[in-house]
């Protein structure tokens, strides 16, 4: 009798939560809030509050998707895994419009990733569950149904969400960035907002939309080191995702391999590629100069195409390390954000050489260098040009501008001659 009762308790919802929970993380950190106290002088009051939220692991190497408002202005993103281990995450990319962000944690082990469903076949009144760090109560699970599909919700003058899933599953502060799952344990949405003062009205970004944004984030990362030339998007056939090539860049490795618009990528090096996010995720660990084997469908035919990858030019890396004392990566607007209309690109500092000029001046990992010596530094080539200027080479003080934690700073530095 007890065995039968136990079997009845193992409901589809219990199984679904067990399937998804290992890939859900809790996020905490101190957020800096600013408010105007004197509009005439633009004086701002600054205070810090304890922030909390949730994220989902989308790649085993430690890439986590969450809401941007969860990690915006957080000085130190504390990430707690399902097993209880705690580490620090780094904000890699974000998109203000969709309120999504990508963070990265360092890990020596492969992490479980969230099972992905599709939001194109979501049904009204379908049972769903929200997982997250509700009010700081870690690993909270709430249940509800899909109340409506395709909602447009304005939560502030600056933030409007489109095409949201509406649910009556309880979503509270701290749930943001966590998964909305179906009874198969698959993520069908990213929890994002509640209607203040309303009962049983909450919203989630459809997983199809969220994964396309995530694909863009990962593409920006892979394009830094690999010149593949593939521009792809996810297309759904009978609610099943496929990765379709939208265009191929001129003179790229993809063009040389003969890839064309409309090709459907099925596998990369033997690994399934169901979505565009999979294509870029599978390239994260590919070394420059490697060969990719793509299984594609063209029309009604299947074929294998070999793509010989080139390496993004690294000219000047050694000189930058020797003279300036940093290693940098070119980043775009998804990292810098939209606060600074004059700067949409820059060089993110990934490593600082102890005792080097940058270290002595107080530059640190995560700073984004946007100008030096009056020149914009949008690429490694830009920075190399600055380092070759006569005044810089002879050790004159050079003015630089950086963006740190979303705010602009400037300073003076003397660069060592090479």
Q: Which of 147, 176, 252, 334 is catalytic?
A: 176
Q: Decide: helix, strand or coil at residue 311.
A: strand
Q: Decide: helix, strand or coil at residue 398.
A: strand
Count Cβ neighbours within 10 Å for each residue of 85-108 and write b for 16 or more, e otherwise.
eeeebbbbbbbbebbbbbbbbeee
Cα–chain-centroid distance for residue 70?
A: 13
Residues 130 and 13: their CA atoms lie apart, in Å, by 11
Q: Decide: helix, strand or coil at residue 196.
A: coil
* SS3 labels along 130-166: EEEEECCEEEEEEEEEEEEEEEEEECCCCCEEEEEEE
Residues 114 and 181: their CA atoms lie apart, in Å, by 10
Q: Which of 59, 99, 278, 373 is catalytic?
A: 99
The answer to whether 162 is a known catalytic residue is no
**Facing residues of 235 across strands?**
242
Q: Which of 23, 69, 209, 278 is catalytic?
A: 69
The answer to whether 99 is a known catalytic residue is yes
**Facing residues of 187 across strands?**
116, 181
Q: Alpha helix (H) ranges present in 236-373?
A: 253-257, 276-282, 317-319, 333-336, 357-361
How many CB atoms neighbour CB 192 within 10 A?
A: 28
The answer to whether 69 is a known catalytic residue is yes
Kindly list the catalytic residues: 69, 99, 176
């Amino acid at each position: 009798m007890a065995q039968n009762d136990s079997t009845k308790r193992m409901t589809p919802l219990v199984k679904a939560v067990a399937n998804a929970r290992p890939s859900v993380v809790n996020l905490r950190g101190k957020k800096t809030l600013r408010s105007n106290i004197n509009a005439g002088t633009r004086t701002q009051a600054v205070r810090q509050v304890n922030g909390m939220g949730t994220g989902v692991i989308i790649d085993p190497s430690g890439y986590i998707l969450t809401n941007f408002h969860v990690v915006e202005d957080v000085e130190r993103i504390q990430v707690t895994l399902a097993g209880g281990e705690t580490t620090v995450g780094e904000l890699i990319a974000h998109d203000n419009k969709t309120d999504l962000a990508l963070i990265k944690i360092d890990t020596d082990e492969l992490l479980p990733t969230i099972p992905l469903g599709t939001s194109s076949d979501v049904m009204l009144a379908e049972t769903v569950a929200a997982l997250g760090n509700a009010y700081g109560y870690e690993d909270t699970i709430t249940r509800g149904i899909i109340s409506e599909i395709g909602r447009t919700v304005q939560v502030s003058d600056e933030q409007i969400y489109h095409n949201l899933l509406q649910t009556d599953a309880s979503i509270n502060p701290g749930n943001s960035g966590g998964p909305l799952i179906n009874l198969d344990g698959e993520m069908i949405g990213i929890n994002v907002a509640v209607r203040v003062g309303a009962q049983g009205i909450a919203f989630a970004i459809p997983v199809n939309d969220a994964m396309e944004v995530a694909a863009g984030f990962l593409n920006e990362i892979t394009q830094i080191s690999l010149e593949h030339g593939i521009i792809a998007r996810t297309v759904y056939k009978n609610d099943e995702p496929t990765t379709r090539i939208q265009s191929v860049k001129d003179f790229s490795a993809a063009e040389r391999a003969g890839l064309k618009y409309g090709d459907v990528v099925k596998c990369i090096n033997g690994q399934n590629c169901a979505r565009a996010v999979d294509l870029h995720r599978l390239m994260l660990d590919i070394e420059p100069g490697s060969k990719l084997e793509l299984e594609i469908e063209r029309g009604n035919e299947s074929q294998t195409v070999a793509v010989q990858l080139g390496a993004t030019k690294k000219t000047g890396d050694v000189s930058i390390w020797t003279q300036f004392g940093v290693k940098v990566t070119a980043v775009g607007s998804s990292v810098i954000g939209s606060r600074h209309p004059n700067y949409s690109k820059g060089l993110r500092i990934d490593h600082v050489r102890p005792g080097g000029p940058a270290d002595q001046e107080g530059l640190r990992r995560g700073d984004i260098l946007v100008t030096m010596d009056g020149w914009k530094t949008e690429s490694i080539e830009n920075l190399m040009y600055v380092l070759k200027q006569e005044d810089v080479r002879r050790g004159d003080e050079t003015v630089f501008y950086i963006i740190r934690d979303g705010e602009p700073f400037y300073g003076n530095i003397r660069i060592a001659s090479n």
